[in-house]
Amino acid sequence: MNILTFNELPQGGFAGLREKQFVVDERVFGKRKKPATVNGIGNFVYLADANFTPNGETGMHSHREIDVISVMVDGNISHAGSLEHGGELTAGMVQVQRAGAEGFSHNEINPDDTENHMIQLWVTPDELGEPAGYKAYTPAKGERLHIYGGSKGQTERFYSKTQIEVVNAENEQIVEQAGAVMAYLSKGSGSFNGEMLSARTLVQSDGLKFKASEPSQLILIYANN
């Protein structure tokens, strides 16, 4: 089991947010990959843990042929852009934006006078040329919600062989995943394969058993062949 914690990483950021990058995959970023970061799994290539400054924003910018997943930990986001302009994200919600061939532009804005906390993940598409699209999810307490990836036949999530689930774990809830998996504990604390860890920790493991020691938010990433 490999562990990477928030305090091990250099502080970065841009515009109105401060962030620390955990996953910066060399398949996409090449020589721009920072030494402290790790590669992803499947088509998962990027993870950043960010705090928006009070009333901070990313500024309008664009993406093409990338899927951008935003997981709210605390606070709120006002979403602006070419997909679902005017949407709002509150703590615990997830938005998934597929850029596809046409691309999208967006600006994520903190509407509050206090910091917020958001995790952003990027996944490269299995197939190029998909149409742009937007989906939003709200995991319930105790729920393990599949928010990204699945077969071409289903419509609940964007198609990908890379899978992402968000768990809004309650105290003492157990979450298990077989095979190679990356897990990010964005809030709370608990044991990973028997080792106690706190929030803002990335775990890479072949098989995982997590037991929450308090209400926690856990992001699971794994790939199907």
Domains recognised in the chain with CATH numbers: 2-223 (2.60.120.10)
Distance in angstroms (rounded) separating the CA atoms of residues 100 and 103: 5
The answer to whether residue 39 scores a pLDDT higher than 90 is yes
CB contact at 8 A, 175 and 167: yes
150, amino acid identity: G
Lowest mean pLDDT across 106-110, 181-185, 214-218: 106-110
Question: What distance in Å separates the CA atoms of residue 121 and residue 115, rounded to the nearest whole number?
Answer: 20
User: pLDDT class for 96, splitting at 50, 70, 90?
Assistant: very high
What local confidence, expressed as pLDDT, does residue 174 receive? 98
Binned at pLDDT 50, 70 and 90, residue 50 comes out as very high
Rounded-to-integer distance, Cα 199 and Cα 212, Å: 11
Which stretches of 27-103 are assigned E, i.e. beta strand? 44-52, 61-63, 67-74, 76-81, 88-90, 94-98
Q: How far apart are CA 57 and CA 177, in angstroms?
A: 35
CA 20 to centroid of chain Cα atoms: 13
Angstrom distance (rounded) from CA 209 to CA 175 = 6
Residue of 50, 34, 24 lying closest to 122 (CA atoms)? 24
pLDDT for position 119? 97
Report the alpha-carbon angle 121-125-130, nearest 5: 120
Alpha carbon separation from 35 to 9, 23, 31 (Å, rounded): 10, 11, 10
**Does residue 213 register a pLDDT over 90?**
yes
Show the tokens assigned to 216. Answer: 């926690």
What gap in Å lies between CA 133 and CA 157, rounded to an integer?
A: 10
**DSSP at 26:** H
Six token digits for residue 4: 């990477």
Q: How far is Cα 188 from Cα 184, in angstroms, rounded to an integer?
A: 11
**Which residue is it, tokens 């606070």?**
75
Please tell me which residue, 222 or 129, carries the higher pLDDT value.
222
| Residue 108 tokens, joined | 């994520």
